[in-house]
Amino acid sequence: MEEQMNIQNFLELVPQPGFCVRDGKILYTNQAAQALMLKPGQEIGPLLQTGNDEYRDLQDGQLYLSLGIAGMTHNAVVTRTEDVDLFLLEPDADVEEFRSMGLISMELRKPLMHVISNSQQLLEQTESADLDAASRMNQGLSQLLRLVCNLSDVSRYREISHGETRDICSFLEELLEKAKTMISDNGMHLSWELPREAIPCIIDSEQIERALWNLISNALKFLPKNGSIHVRLIRRGQRLHLTVADSGSGIAEQVKQSVFQRYLRQPGIEDSRFGLGLGMVIVRTVAANHGGTVLIDSNGNAGTRVTMTLSIRQNTESKLQSPVFRPDYTGGWDHALLELSDCLPPTKYREL
């Protein structure tokens, strides 16, 4: 009862709609949720647009899913406690603000690409004694470009824009082979388990790639020396579960509370590894676009495990299609070098 009262008091303090659920029914709503016509006694099941199975199986951690309320889609973060489940709906995004962010990032991208190009030309003429400094400069430019790309794509990835039918197993294996080559020199270990059979499904390959790179990058930031990352893809009916588990230090409780939110960095967290949180926003947006959810929980006694679920959507013709042509979001630079720029040694950036 005391825990329930604490949750009710908490809900009244948060500005966004929130409510708690027990035994499949809404137990308590705050004023913002009441404005959406949510009320105690209402069944939660009919409201779930994505994450029905994931919510049913939730044991620990935080789950990101979508709700259908009054004909509108609302994204929410669910935290399961011993007594009740706490639902916090994502605050209404200011569309114009994110559109402005995208426009600003596009303007930043133009001069940045010129600087990177000139930097590469200078690197080719640099004496060996100055290679380390030049490499660090290239790495820093890659980090800036990644940030610019994330700023623009958080708003751009609102839906699947380039759906194509691909074998997701071979697609992921190609990316993981690339990642393993990149991080092996760092003493980090990357392993994976993928189904042996092909699983053709409709995906936005750029979005899935960005989500995977972000999950691997986040794991690498918190790995100790000789740490390990294990990626696993399993099929359960018409759903795919893509899990990235690491042997790192885990996510602090105060960070978990805001890990899915846009542009939010918890006050008092001075560790630069947390960044702006755009990576996890991209991950959960990509999952939602593919009819899935994201669950963050602990990896046994240490480390973090992030599971992104995807709905298997297939073309009625059941034919694999060639990758859809689209402009490269990096401007032609190596995707792995860009996406892992916060984790790799500067020596990797002697050639972009």
Q: 274 vs 268, which has greater pLDDT?
A: 274
Tell me, what CATH number does 324's domain have?
3.30.565.10
Mean pLDDT, the chain, integer? 82
| Mean pLDDT computed over 104-123 | 74
Please tell me whether residues 74 and 168 are part of one structural domain.
no
Among 89, 106, 121, the domain-final residue is 89
| Mean pLDDT computed over 286-311 | 87
Structure token digits, residue 134: 């030049």
Question: Does the structure show a pLDDT above 80 at 98?
Answer: no
Question: How many domains are there within the chain?
Answer: 2
Question: Does the structure show a pLDDT above 80 at 172?
Answer: yes
Kindly give the pairing relationship between strand 200-203 and strand 228-236: unpaired
117-131, 246-260, 306-320 — which one is most confidently predicted on average? 306-320
Structure token digits, residue 347: 């020596």
Question: What is the model's pLDDT at position 250?
Answer: 67
| Mean pLDDT computed over 106-114 | 75
User: Are 19 and 11 within 8 A, CB to CB?
Assistant: yes
DSSP result, 140-181: HHHHHHHHHHHHHHHHHTTS-SS-EEEEHHHHHHHHHHHHHH
Amino acid letter, 270: E
User: Are 144 and 112 within 8 A, CB to CB?
Assistant: yes
51: left (phi over 0), alpha (psi -120 to 50) or beta: left
Asked whether residue 342 is domain-assigned, the answer is yes
Separation of alpha carbons 178 and 335, rounded Å = 10
Identify the band that residue 214 occupies on the pLDDT scale cut at 50, 70 and 90: very high
Question: What is the model's pLDDT at position 27?
Answer: 94
The domain of 175 spans 164-349
Please tell me whether residues 337 and 190 are part of one structural domain.
yes
Residue 43 per-residue DSSP state? B
* pLDDT tens profile 283-298: 988 998 999 999 998 7
242: left (phi over 0), alpha (psi -120 to 50) or beta: beta
CB count in 10 Å sphere of residue 28 = 20
| % pLDDT > 70, the chain | 80
Among 42, 70, 89, the domain-final residue is 89
User: Are 109 and 145 within 8 A, CB to CB?
Assistant: yes
Tokens 């092909």, residue located: 198
Question: What is the model's pLDDT at position 299?
Answer: 66
Asked whether residue 42 is domain-assigned, the answer is yes
Lowest-confidence range among 11-15, 164-168, 225-229, 260-264? 260-264
Amino acid letter, 180: K
Asked whether residue 142 is domain-assigned, the answer is no
User: Are 233 and 241 within 8 A, CB to CB?
Assistant: yes
Asked whether residue 30 is domain-assigned, the answer is yes
Structure token digits, residue 117: 């190009």
User: Are 44 and 28 within 8 A, CB to CB?
Assistant: no
Please tell me whether residues 64 and 177 are part of one structural domain.
no
Please tell me whether residues 174 and 316 are part of one structural domain.
yes
User: Are 11 and 32 within 8 A, CB to CB?
Assistant: no
Among 58, 89, 120, the domain-final residue is 89
User: What's the pTM?
Assistant: 0.84
Please tell me whether residues 282 and 199 are part of one structural domain.
yes
The residues facing 203 across adjacent strands are 164
Asked whether residue 298 is domain-assigned, the answer is yes
Identify the band that residue 267 occupies on the pLDDT scale cut at 50, 70 and 90: very low
Question: What is the model's pLDDT at position 186?
Answer: 76
Question: Does the structure show a pLDDT above 60 at 216?
Answer: yes
Question: Does the structure show a pLDDT above 50 at 263?
Answer: no
Structure token digits, residue 96: 């114009």
Please tell me whether residues 329 and 203 are part of one structural domain.
yes
Q: Which of 208, 200, 206, 215 is nearest to 168 (CA)?
A: 200
Asked whether residue 95 is domain-assigned, the answer is no
Question: Does the structure show a pLDDT above 80 at 333?
Answer: yes
Question: Does the structure show a pLDDT above 60 at 187?
Answer: yes
Q: Which of 206, 241, 213 is nearest to 229 (CA)?
A: 213
Separation of alpha carbons 334 and 347, rounded Å = 15
